Structure 1
Amino acid sequence: MVIPLESFSSHDRSPIMSSREIARLTGIAHKEVKRMVKSLETAQRLSQSVTTSQYEQEGEVRQEFLLNKRDSLLTVASVSPGFTVEVLDRWQEREKSVSLPDFTNPAVAAHAWAEQYEKRQRAEEQLALIAPKAEFFDWYVKVNDSLGFRQLCKMLKVKEPEFRQFLLERNIMTRANGILMPSQTYIQAGYFTVHSGTGENKHTWAQARFTARGVKWIAGLWVTHLSTRPVEVRPPERAENSAAGRSWF
């Protein structure tokens, strides 16, 4: 498979900064940096979808976010404005070191081609995963009714705990007396309605529902979230294992 030189564009080579690095530079807890990134993403203030990456720490696989220059500086300005200059200096150092691979060196060239081929494979696998979800989203945005949390989970075909965590991490909803309630910002934006009343024994109740506009909005965020998940690439089976499992009778 021939990969054109154009594949090594400035976009592919653009330097990035991880949420872990931002945490180290600012002294802010990594989970707080990630929370801010998710909040900025939810508010649609980031220039592009957040890319995730996995790393191992203390025997556990954890997740970090990878940001471009603009989005990383916006994140730093939001969590700890006093460190903006330090992060900007780090970016200037990083941008100076970016260069094309030395294709005159056979070893470097071979590594570059292999790396780009792997990127393309990952992209194709990611598209294969996203395609049915995108098709579902195109259908789902036609919904004109409001939906409750469980109804939405059923329609999105997502487990309730996973979707609940998605909403809580982005401060879209919070817990109030054990009940999921939307943040006032999103109520005012027209994404939710809240109904309340008094039942038997003067017991008060409240229920939040996604409006038709809210359904379309949150479905878009969910599809974007799914598209940025890291794709697990399984190594190919060894030839001898495949032969051993083959029956000749």
Structure 2
Amino acid sequence: MTDLILSSNTAPVTMSSREIAELTGSRHDNVKRSAERLAADHILTSPLEGLDFEHRGNAYQEYRFNKRDSLVLVARLSPEFTAAVVDRWQELEAGSNRIPQTLSESLRLAAEMAEKNEQLALANQQQAAQIESLENLFVDGMTPTEFAKRLNGVNCQKVCQALSQRGWLYQDFTGGWRVASYARDRFLTERQSNVPRSSGQVMVRCTPVLLRKGAIHMHKLYLERQLPMKSSWDGQFTHDKSWQGAA
């Protein structure tokens, strides 16, 4: 999130498509495609103008949005993250209204901005490391328990119970875990399979399957120590190296 543009007296304050992706936990390509669809439907007020950038040797293009268009875009992408974008806009606008009147104020503001940029750079590095770690951990079709097995120290036997307390899962009359309406198609989906019974009948078994967004949230809960952990956990937030590169 170091690519923000803080305006001067004449330049408008804008927010980049990459920052919106970071705030909402979305892929940058998905953000851009959503913006392009909104623009095609004449919902956005400003034309989309792509800006070329390079990060770690990889070239990419991003869009920039005014406040109104960014809120429209994030509401389409992920309504639950609208508050995060509103908060960020308040920070941007507060920064744009700070006009130093003296040399000392200018130096103080420059020092504060330099410190904030350092903090943002560190946060960006940490987030990049987390994303890289997640990419090595998550595979489409995994159950929450299978994903938890790749996280060092997590008590996998208690993961489903912990997710049920968060409204993600519930137990049906057979004692099996099912996806709750709150999390369905948001964090989890279900995989159905037919299980023959001795009576000759076939029982349909439903298995909760983690979606990528659910994996992101589980990984966040892990880093915040909000998943059930083993008493023998060494306190290290790492993953099982036997799975490295499996995704």
Q: Which has the higher contact order (CA 8 A, sep 6+)?
A: 1
* Common topology (TM > 0.5): no
TM-score (norm 1): 0.36
TM-score (norm 2): 0.36
